[in-house]
Amino acid sequence: MNIPTANYLNKRVLKLNVGFLLSAGPSNHKIMALNITDPVKIADDLVVKSINGTLRLSRNKEGILVQASDLVFVVDRECSRCLNTFEHPISITIEELFASPHPIDESEFFVGQDGQLDLAPLLRAEALIQLAHREYCRVDCQGLCVYCGTNLNDTTCDCADNQIDPRMAKLKELLDAGK
C-alpha cells in the first residue's frame, strides 16, 4: 500500500456519536449508512480504500448492539501468485454489543464517557480474519515464472520448455527410456 499518509482519513471517522440513542432508552434503534469513499487508516496495519454498508444500532439494557451484514471494504492486496497489487472487496458481518455504562469487567467494546462508540478496533479484527487467507488477483492467475520471474499473465517465456524441474528429471528419464 503506497498511498501517502496525508491522504488517509483519520480513523476518527469511525467514531459514532450514540449519545442520543443511549438517552432514547432501550428498544430504540437507528439505521445508519456508512459510506466512506476515501482511504481510511483503521489501524497501523490496515488501510481500507472504501467502506460501504449499513449499520443498525440498537439500544438495549446492556448498551448498544451494532449489527451489519452488508459491509464491503475495498483493500489493496498483493496477489499470492503473481505479486501484483489488486483491489480486493471483502464482505464484513458484524454483531457486537458495545457496553454502556462501561462495565467493571473491561469488556472489549464499550461506549466511551463521551457517548462515542469506536468502530475501528472491531472493524480491524473482522477485516484481519478475512485477510488471513491467500488471495489471487483472479481465479486463473498464471503467477510468475519460477525461473525468470516473468509475470505469465502479461507475457510468456521459454523457461518451462528449456528447463526441467529436478523433481521431474527422474520421470523424464523413465519416459525417455520407454520411447
Residues that bind Zn ion (CB under 5 A): 79, 81-82, 137, 141, 145, 147-148, 150, 157, 159
> Nearest distance from residue 64's CB to Zn ion, in Å?
41
Give the shortest CB-37-to-Zn ion separation in angstroms: 26
In the bound state with Zn ion, the residue whose beta carbon lies nearer, of 55 and 144, is: 144
Give the whole-angstrom CA distance, residue 145 versus residue 148: 6
Distance of alpha carbon 80 from its chain centroid, rounded?
Answer: 15
In 3-state terms, what secondary structure has residue 177?
A: helix
| Rounded Cα–Cα distance for residues 51 and 12 (Å) | 14
What's the CA gap between 18 and 36, in Å, rounded? Answer: 19
* Smallest separation, CB 46 to Zn ion (Å): 21
DSSP H helical ranges for 12-153: 19-24, 120-131
Contact 57, 28 (CB under 8 A): no
CB of 168 to Zn ion, least distance (A): 16
Closer Cβ to Zn ion, 70 or 165, answer by number:
165
Q: Which is nearer to Zn ion, 55 or 159 (CB)?
A: 159
Nearer to Zn ion, 44 or 161 (CB): 161
Which grid coordinates belong to 86?
489488486
Name the DSSP class of 143: -
Closer by beta carbon to Zn ion, 72 or else 148: 148
| Shortest Å, Cβ 82 to Zn ion | 3
E strand or H helix at 81: none
